[in-house]
Amino acid sequence: MKTNTITIVGMRRTGISIALALQEGPSEFSLIGHDSDANLLHLAIVTEAVDRVEADLIKACTPADIVVLAMPALELEATLRLIGDRLQSHTLIIDLTALKGPGIRLAQEHLKEGHYIGARPIFAAGTFTSLETDLDSARADLFQNSVFCVMPSPHAEPKAVETAVRFGQLLGSKPYFLDPYEYDQLAFGSETMPGVAAAALFSAITKSPGWRDILRIADIPFAVGTQPLDIDTEDLAYLLLSDRESAIRSLDSYLLQLNEIRRYLKEGEPELITAYLMELNISRQKWLSERSVNDWDETSNDNFEMPSLSQHFLGGLASKRGEG
């Protein structure tokens, strides 16, 4: 079945960048944009990222062959509940929200039609140096030469998985398969902890003596260190509470490293502090280099080829199960 219509739910940086990437791709689709924020819908149509916008969620998703959920994880359950019995039987939902395990459970509970695949596009390494997080930083190559994590459940239809992989390739990304629950564990430290660390840093500064003067002279390092706070704070709280055991383990590990630095300072060991920071900086530079090349030794499933997404989409699927 040919893919004619793709609906993107969420018109912030990720959603707009996906739309721009699809616009520049070899296939032609009708792109519908939806967001609960009328201002974002207006910007999406003004920038011509989508062909049209639809303020009504159900009307936006009903005609879609693919529905892309690019929104906060906190909104996932309400969204699936609303559209769960309004989709076509062949419709593929590609869920890009931050948590994959809960997504599978919610899809099984609420989807009466269609097929669900959890995925996560990873930003290109070239975007790391920018502090921008708003629509001004949306771009067609935001995911170019990065990885598109695909996290299907064991019950996912193979053609739904193939379509999700092909979708990631249209964004310029390489497919990378992960167990959804393993992904949640791995991503917690890199996606959720920076927001917690930024909150603690900003709180510590604003509660210290002379904090107004500190903020007056604060510069790029402080802006970079606290930038992860510039997100949906309700969603950050939701992510923390969704897996409190992982949150506590990550906090314990973070506190352990802070206490190590504190010990070096208390014992007056400048050489150890210098060596400690230097070693970490070298490791970080190595990571940035590897991310920019994106040629990881562990990646063995990049060469996943299939027919064009627009020509071969979920052909022959009769199942109405919404799990994947």
pLDDT in tens, 236-253: 888 888 888 888 988 999
pLDDT in tens, 127-137: 665 555 566 77
Q: Does some domain include residue 302?
A: no
Q: Does some domain include residue 12?
A: yes
Which CATH number does the domain housing residue 123 bear? 3.40.50.720
44 shares a domain with 169:
yes
Q: Mean pLDDT score of the chain, rounded to an integer?
A: 86
Structural domain boundaries enclosing 15: 5-180
Pinpoint the alpha helices (H) of the chain. 13-24, 38-46, 57-61, 76-83, 101-110, 158-170, 180-187, 193-206, 211-217, 220-226, 233-242, 244-266, 270-293
**Stretch among 18-32, 56-70, 298-312 having the lowest mean pLDDT:** 298-312
| pLDDT (0 to 100) of residue 56 | 97
**316, 305, 307: which is closest to 27 by C-alpha?**
307
**93, 96, 122, 97: which is closest to 108 by C-alpha?**
93
34 shares a domain with 170:
yes
81 shares a domain with 203:
no
- DSSP string covering 277-306, please? HHHHHHHHHHHHHHHHHT--TT--------
166 shares a domain with 79:
yes
195 shares a domain with 52:
no
187 shares a domain with 148:
no
168 shares a domain with 22:
yes
64 shares a domain with 48:
yes
| pLDDT (0 to 100) of residue 129 | 53
pLDDT in tens, 95-136: 999 989 999 999 999 999 899 999 999 988 766 655 555 667
166 shares a domain with 204:
no
| pLDDT (0 to 100) of residue 302 | 45
Q: Which amino acid appears at position 186 of this protein?
A: L
Q: Does some domain include residue 321?
A: no
CA atoms within 13 A on the CB side of 281: 6
What's the CA dihedral at 133, 138, 140, 143 to 10 degrees?
Answer: 10
Domain final residue, candidates 164, 180, 196: 180
Domain final residue, candidates 126, 150, 180: 180
212 shares a domain with 164:
no
17 shares a domain with 114:
yes
Domain final residue, candidates 161, 180, 199: 180
Q: Does some domain include residue 149?
A: yes
Q: Name the domain count of the chain.
A: 2
| C-alpha span between 181 and 186 (Å, rounded) | 9
The pTM assigned to this predicted structure is: 0.84
Q: Does some domain include residue 221?
A: yes
Which CATH number does the domain housing residue 206 bear? 1.10.3660.10
Q: Does some domain include residue 312?
A: no
- DSSP string covering 224-282, please? HHHGGGSS-HHHHHHHHHHTHHHHHHHHHHHHHHHHHHHHHHHTT-HHHHHHHHHHHHH
Q: Does some domain include residue 309?
A: no
Q: Does some domain include residue 85?
A: yes
78 shares a domain with 27:
yes
The answer to whether 155 and 170 have CB atoms below 8 angstroms apart is no
